[in-house]
C-alpha cells in the first residue's frame, strides 16, 4: 500500500484530535491500516509540549477562560503554541520506515513540503538555522512538532493561512521571546490561498517528497467506521488532566 489517505475532518475538538491520532497510531503500527494525513479544524487552544519553559504562557488563567481558550499538555516535543481558526493543522500518521527511521529527515521533509507549497502562492519561505519550522525572513509562518511511537510518526505541523495573529500574543510562541508570527494572508496578499487550497498544496508536496503513489481522500464518516464510534464520543463533560493522552514516546522533536 503506497498511498496516503487524506481526511479533512472539519470542526474537531482538540481532545478528539488527540484520541484520533492515538487510535490511528495503534492501527498503523499493527499494520491494520496504511498511512494517513488528518486535517482537523480546531477552535482556539494552547498546546504545551514536553519541553516547556516557565513564563511562555503570557495570559493568565482568567484571561484564557474568558476567551474560551483551552490548554493541553501533549506528547510532542517542544514548548507552547496556538491552534485555531484560519490555521492549517496537519497530523501525518506515517510509518517512519519511509524516511529510514530518521527523525531529522522526517522533520526536514515536513518543512520542505510547506516551503514548496507556499511557493505556489508567491511566498518565498525557508528554514532558520538552529530552529525548527518555516520562516519568511525573520517571521515564523509554520510550526512543526512531532512525536513517534513504535516508529509511527504523529502530531505534525501548523501553517498560518489566515488566522488572527493577535492570538499569538497570549504566549511566547514555541518558547521564542520576541518572535514575530506571520501568515499567508499577510505575506501573499491577493495571492493568499484559502484553507482548502493550502491543504491541497501541502498534500501534493508531501505525496511527492515521501514518494507515495498518490493521495486517496477519505471522509470523516469512513474514519469513524475504521476506528469505531467510541473515538468520536461526546467528551464535553470530561475534564482535562495535564499530561492526558498518549504517553509512550520513542522520540520527539521540537516546534
**Looking at the annotation, which residues are catalytic?**
174
> Number of C-alpha atoms within 13 angstroms, CB side, residue 89?
27
Amino acid at each position: 500500500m503506497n498511498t496516503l489517505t487524506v481526511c479533512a475532518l472539519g470542526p474537531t475538538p482538540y481532545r478528539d484530535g488527540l484520541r484520533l491520532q492515538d487510535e490511528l497510531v495503534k492501527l498503523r503500527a499493527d499494520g491494520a491500516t496504511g498511512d494517513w494525513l488528518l486535517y482537523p479544524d480546531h477552535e482556539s487552544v494552547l498546546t504545551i509540549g514536553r519541553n516547556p519553559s516557565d513564563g511562555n504562557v503570557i495570559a493568565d488563567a482568567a484571561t484564557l477562560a474568558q476567551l474560551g481558550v483551552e490548554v493541553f499538555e501533549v506528547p510532542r516535543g517542544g514548548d507552547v503554541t496556538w491552534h485555531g481558526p484560519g490555521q492549517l493543522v496537519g497530523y501525518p500518521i506515517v510509518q517512519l520506515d519511509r524516511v529510514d527511521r530518521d527523525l531529522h529527515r522526517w522533520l526536514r521533509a515536513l518543512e520542505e513540503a510547506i516551503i514548496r507549497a507556499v511557493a505556489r502562492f508567491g511566498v518565498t519561505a525557508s528554514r532558520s538555522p538552529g530552529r525548527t519550522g518555516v520562516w519568511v525572513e525573520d517571521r515564523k509562518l509554520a510550526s512543526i512538532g512531532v512525536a513517534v511511537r513504535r516508529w509511527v510518526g504523529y502530531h505534525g505541523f501548523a501553517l498560518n493561512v489566515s488566522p488572527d495573529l493577535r492570538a499569538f500574543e497570549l504566549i511566547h510562541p514555541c518558547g521564542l521571546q520576541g518572535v514575530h508570527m506571520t501568515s499567508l494572508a499577510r505575506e501573499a496578499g491577493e495571492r493568499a490561498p484559502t484553507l482548502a487550497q493550502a491543504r491541497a498544496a501541502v498534500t501534493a508536496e508531501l505525496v511527492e517528497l515521501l514518494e507515495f503513489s498518490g493521495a486517496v481522500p477519505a471522509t470523516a464518516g469512513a474514519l469513524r467506521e475504521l476506528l469505531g464510534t467510541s473515538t468520536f464520543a461526546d467528551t464535553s463533560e470530561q475534564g482535562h488532566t495535564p499530561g492526558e493522552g498518549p504517553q509512550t514516546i520513542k522520540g520527539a522533536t521540537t516546534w
